[in-house]
Amino acid sequence: MNIKANTRILKIVVACSVAFLAQASHAVTDAELDEAFFPYKKGFPTFPGLKAGMVINKSNVDQFKDIISPAHFKLIKEGWMEIPVAEAFDMPLPKQYIEATKQHADKVKLGTTIEGFVAGRPFPQQPSASDPRAGEKLAWNFKYGLNWGDGAIIYPFYWRYINANTGSVERTMKFEFHFLNFMHRTINDPKPNITPNPSQLYRGTYLKVHEPLDLKNTQLLIQAYEDDLKRSDAYLYLGFQRRVRRLATGQTTDSFLGSDLMIEDFEGYNGRVSDYKWTFIETKNALMPYYKHNEMKKFHPDFKESDGYKFIGFTGKANCTPDITWQLRKVHVVEGRPVDAGHPISKRLIYLDAQIMTPSMSTIYDRKGEIWKSFQIGKAHPDFHLPINKGSGIPLDDSGSVIDLQSNHCTAITFRGEIDPAKNPPSLFQVQNLRGGD
Amino acid sequence: MHKQKRGNLLRQTATMLLSCLAVTTLASSAHAEDSLPVLGESASPWKVDVFYENATHFRGKDNTGNRVGLSKFRNTLQAEVDKNLSDGWAFHGIFRGTFDGVYQLNKDEYGKNAGGAVALESSALEGTPVHYLPFGQGIVNWTTAQGIGLPPSNTFGFNSTTPGGLANPSTSPAAVANLPYNPNQGLRLLFDRWGTNPGGVQAAVPVRPCDVDSRGCTDFGGYGDKKRSELEAPEFNDKLDFIREFYVKKNFNLDDGKQVFVKLGKQQVVWGRTDLFRVLDVINPVDYSRNNIYDELQDIRIPMWILQAEYRMGASDTFQDRNVSVVWNFDQFRPNNLGQCGTPNSILDAACILRAFKSLWDNGGTVANFASVLPPGTPGNGPHLSTDFGPHTIGIRNVDLPDWSLKNTQLGIKWEGVTADGISFSLNGLSYRSQLPSLHMFNVGAVNPFIGTVVDTSDLIAFDLVYPRVSLLGGSADFQIPDANLAVRLEAALTHGEEFGNSAQASGYSKNKVFRSVIGLDRPTMIPWINEAEATLFSAQLFYQHIFDHELYDRPFGKVGMVDWKDNFIGTLLIRASLMNARLIPQVIMARDFKAHAFAVAPSVAYRYSDNLSFSVGANFKFRDNQERWHFADQRDSGSFAPFGAYTDANSNTQTGPGAWGLSGLVPLGAFRAGPIGAAWREDEIQFSMKYKF
């Protein structure tokens, strides 16, 4: 064996070792956990010229371009909306979830898909631009995040379809949504998994339409598998057909019941991690629609509850945007490009909140690469919401808006969410449950 | 329209709508005042949704060249009522009242002036002035029968001329007092809307509402004897069909996480996974009189009083979902509503066959091209003469509708689940009654019209109508093929006990096992030039039917046996796009009956102006190759009363006993070969509808 050959082998060994080390996991340190779950321990971020109480509008938005997502910058610039700025606040996640992260994160690694994951945040370490799979890790962090905890209900859940050219409300949908994690549970019993679960379902989403009449009793059940390479199963019960229809997976990228959302858009992103190629862009501070529900000043005049709960109101052009306050927070910006060339979008740019790891802000680009839609979900602090949510530690999806900038159309969404395991039994997420409808 | 009549119609329409509106308004106001009867927790309010819908359809020319015009002016008021009761029970009700003004707005086609005088053919007299003679003037009658040597006791002929129960002098004096009046009025020829039958047998059928003309009217199973007012407002009947649904339901949670789900009341129970046509979805009968096969099944299933109980076991180590359900249909048996002859929708034209045959039995009638002119022993199969049959000779004698009894109730069981791999499946078993009628030749104690005496025979074209008991075993499954972006639906069923018309059998029918299956494929497809955000749905289905022990034999003049195809396929394709945030829905439905060579296409566009107001415009066109492939043995050559009417073939073999030799035509069985699409040829329609939710 000559020196040249030995050198070549040595290079290969070194390269493999570097790659292995990059993949290899290590025990998560307290410092890493602090940075992941308590990013504001040392104070909240600031930005030149930004103050609580001010309003960002088209006259001053250029000054704050760096802390606003591209779609929302465009919306403000074009007069769709304004951003009232408020003081930031901490939203610590439940200690059980953080503890599970500490306990299990060191065993998690990426192969073809995720490996060794048990519970908690899979990759609590801060993303690094030098890590080619940093974007993918953030996607996993969201997938196994705590959006709605181990289970929750949203009811009533109002979606209004609005023609922004005329301001007319075309349709008003009244939904009931339920979420349940079958696996990797950290808060509600049984933990970590609901058994038996022979299909290895990770998460179920069940929804029912209460209004309008033509869609009344329509129900949708989405069963997401633990195996990320396996496509979710979806079943639709159509009230006018009185039977359950299996949905082809393509229908998750179709406009959902005529709204500006696809099923894939639910909760910010509802597809498989493997459906997209994820790229970590940067970590930065950005304005996010996070607020305390009970401290908002204006609520929706049309939707009322007998217990006095008030729904977030809407403002701006055609009343497309939630009437809430925003705050400057630490975010990870991730770009996702669909693997499927036939996907209706070319990419989505997600602003992932660094503390709670939910994609509250997205810019969605059409197949030509032009900005198509803005997506936002307002997060409410659970201690300033319904009594049942107090102390849950689960930041609540509380208001939302998807604006189609190309067709001047929007879907305005307002929630009543409850972190209540009793309202989310596993039987609700069985196909047969759909058939018991009217 | 006459002013006074128009006023009556408007008054009746207004009365019906106001009555329904009053009921629903009361319900709504009761909701507001919480003054409805307390059925449970007052905290849960009554939820009442009310809508009005108008459906207006127009047809072009039928096969006679007659422009039909308005074929539907249906006004529907429907209230859907929900309330949570105490202890976890919930109530659901749907109340529907409709009024179809077509019977008065187009009375020449469907009302009191429908039909007219008809003439029936004697092919033997082609080229002469008596080639076609009016109903009641058949060449063969009581007088001419004697002319060929039959005794005066022959019973050919009927009373077509004398109102008040007096006999036509030309008919048998022995029957004078009993012959009902059966004039040449308000009649059409069988299948004349969509076919012609030169040289074949033909019968006349009364087409006016039964309060105007009661000939051939009888209760075939909830249909066939309706007055105009009952046709106009079909829900207001002794079955209280205005109560579409009325049930309570509850989930009983068991300690181990399993559940027992109970639903009791008037309801629809839907098995299976198909659209348009049914394989497993046979628990509720279907009302085809509403809009043939073209309405949503939800609107045309006939709800029945049913107890459903499901044991929901949830997941196991093997299955992701498991449940067993029992369905007990304890309602009195009701078959499919096949419509009434003279109304716009008579699927397979079965209602016209039934009414014509019932009238033939009750009143007698002229049958075209029935009696052969060939002397006995002369080889050949025609030509023929029109023949006046007396009452109680041919046709439908009785309708045997099952009374309510425990053994007449219907019971089903279903095991359903989802495998660990995500395949949904069901195994189904059902003991029920056929929802389609079967005609049994009764053969015993028949009057031989040639001599007027009672004899026993076989192959007699005189029937009792029954609904036989049937058992069904089947299954279904669905799954997805992700790589093809396809959802796949499968269904299969094997039935025992179904009966089919069979001219090879002396009883005219046979019981056969039947296998039916369907494969359905659904594929949402993004077609950017249609819509970049909303997918276009392609949904294709292929139905297959196989009749076991199928009989079809060559006889001297053609084939005899079972009119239904041994194997047949029906394919359907739905293409539905979605525009303007699903507020504008253009779609086209196509259906092809492969054996019948019949094709239907139904394009439509629905526009949802708001949550409360929507419109749609559509059309329905049918196409066919030719009608000859639908011709089938008509049994005029059955020779039920040998030696009368015995045929001799080309080899000089003469019929020695009853049994058809295969003389064929479109009437009366061609409709079953044409299928629901072919038998609706020339019923092309343009359709408008408007729906408003209050």
Contacts of B610 in chain A (CB under 8 A): 170-171
- Nearest to residue A228, comparing CAs of A337, A121, A343, A140? A140
Report how far residue A19's alpha carbon sits from residue A9's, in angstroms, rounded to the nearest whole number. 15
Mean pLDDT (chain A) is: 92
Helix (H) or strand (E) segment spanning residue A136: helix A134-143
Residue B299: closest C-alpha in chain A: A240
pLDDT in the model for residue B533: 83
Q: Which residue has the higher pLDDT, A286 or B2?
A: A286
* Interchain CB distance below 8 Å, B693 and A255: no
* Interchain CB distance below 8 Å, A248 and B522: yes
* Interchain CB distance below 8 Å, B321 and A432: yes
Any idea which residue has 């099952």 for tokens? B402
Contacts of A405 in chain B (CB under 8 A): none
The ipTM estimated for the assembled molecules is: 0.88
Question: Is the C-alpha dihedral spanning B233, B236, B241, B244 positive or negative?
Answer: positive
* Interchain CB distance below 8 Å, A248 and B480: yes
- Nearest Cβ partner for B482 among A196, A216, A231: A231
pLDDT along chain B (694 residues), means of 10: 45 44 40 39 79 97 96 97 94 97 97 97 97 96 91 90 63 58 96 95 98 97 97 95 96 91 96 90 96 91 96 94 97 97 96 98 96 90 94 95 94 96 96 97 92 92 97 97 93 98 96 98 91 91 98 96 97 96 95 97 97 96 94 94 89 91 96 95 96 96
pLDDT in the model for residue A7: 52
Contacts of B263 in chain A (CB under 8 A): 436
Cα A151 to Cα A139, A201, A205, A341, A429: the distances in Å are: 20, 14, 10, 34, 11
Distance from CA of B250 to the nearest CA of A (A): 9
Residues 143-172 of chain B whose Cβ lies under 8 A from any Cβ of chain A: none
Contacts of B297 in chain A (CB under 8 A): 241-242
* 3-class state of residue B435 by DSSP: coil
Residues 450-509 of chain B whose Cβ lies under 8 A from any Cβ of chain A: 478-480, 482, 485-489
* Interchain CB distance below 8 Å, B92 and A367: no
- Nearest Cβ partner for B581 among A170, A249, A342: A170
* Interchain CB distance below 8 Å, A246 and B480: yes
Distance from CA of B135 to the nearest CA of A (A): 47
* Interchain CB distance below 8 Å, B535 and A427: no
Q: Is B418 on the interface with A (CB under 8 A)?
A: yes
Please, which pLDDT band fits residue A16 given cuts at 50, 70 and 90?
A: very low
- Nearest Cβ partner for A255 among B419, B582, B612: B582
pTM of the model: 0.90
pLDDT in the model for residue B7: 46
Q: Which two tokens stand for residue B249?
A: 């339901």
Beta-carbon contacts of B558 under 8 Å, excluding residues fewer than 6 positions away, are: B633, B661, B662, B663, B664
Distance from CA of B330 to the nearest CA of A (A): 20
Q: What is the number of other CB atoms lying within 10 angstroms of the CB of residue A324?
A: 26
For B295-354, write each residue's pLDDT tens digit: 989 999 999 999 999 999 999 999 999 999 999 999 999 999 999 999 999 999 999 999
Contacts of A224 in chain B (CB under 8 A): none
Q: Which two tokens stand for residue B146?
A: 């004697």
- Nearest Cβ partner for B487 among A214, A248, A404: A248
For A360-406, write each residue's pLDDT tens digit: 999 999 999 999 999 999 999 999 999 999 999 999 999 999 999 99
* Interchain CB distance below 8 Å, B581 and A171: yes
* Interchain CB distance below 8 Å, A246 and B522: yes
Helix (H) or strand (E) segment spanning residue B229: helix B228-232
* Interchain CB distance below 8 Å, A199 and B533: no
Cα B167 to Cα B136, B160, B177, B333: the distances in Å are: 12, 8, 7, 39
Distance from CA of B18 to the nearest CA of A (A): 22
* Interchain CB distance below 8 Å, B424 and A431: yes
For A95-153, write each residue's pLDDT tens digit: 999 999 999 999 999 999 999 999 999 999 999 999 999 999 999 999 999 989 999 99
Q: Compute the count of residue pairs across chains A and B with CB atoms less than 8 Å apart.
A: 168
pLDDT in the model for residue A238: 87
Beta-carbon contacts of B672 under 8 Å, excluding residues fewer than 6 positions away, are: B348, B501, B563, B564, B632
Cα B190 to Cα A367, B187, B593: the distances in Å are: 59, 9, 22
* Interchain CB distance below 8 Å, B535 and A251: yes
What burial class does residue A134 get, using C-beta atoms within 10 Å of its C-beta: 0-12 exposed, 13-18 middle, 19+ buried?
buried
What burial class does residue B79 get, using C-beta atoms within 10 Å of its C-beta: 0-12 exposed, 13-18 middle, 19+ buried?
buried
Q: Is B295 on the interface with A (CB under 8 A)?
A: no
* Interchain CB distance below 8 Å, A170 and B610: yes
Q: What residue spans define the domains of chain A?
A: 1-148+159-171+264-422
Residues 622-681 of chain B whose Cβ lies under 8 A from any Cβ of chain A: none
* Interchain CB distance below 8 Å, A248 and B312: no
Q: Is B312 on the interface with A (CB under 8 A)?
A: yes
- Nearest Cβ partner for A161 among B245, B316, B581: B581
B383: preceding bond cis by omega (within 30 degrees): yes
Amino acid identity of residue B266, one-letter, is: K
* Interchain CB distance below 8 Å, B524 and A243: no
Contacts of A254 in chain B (CB under 8 A): 524, 526, 533-535, 578
Contact A285, A67 (CB under 8 A): yes
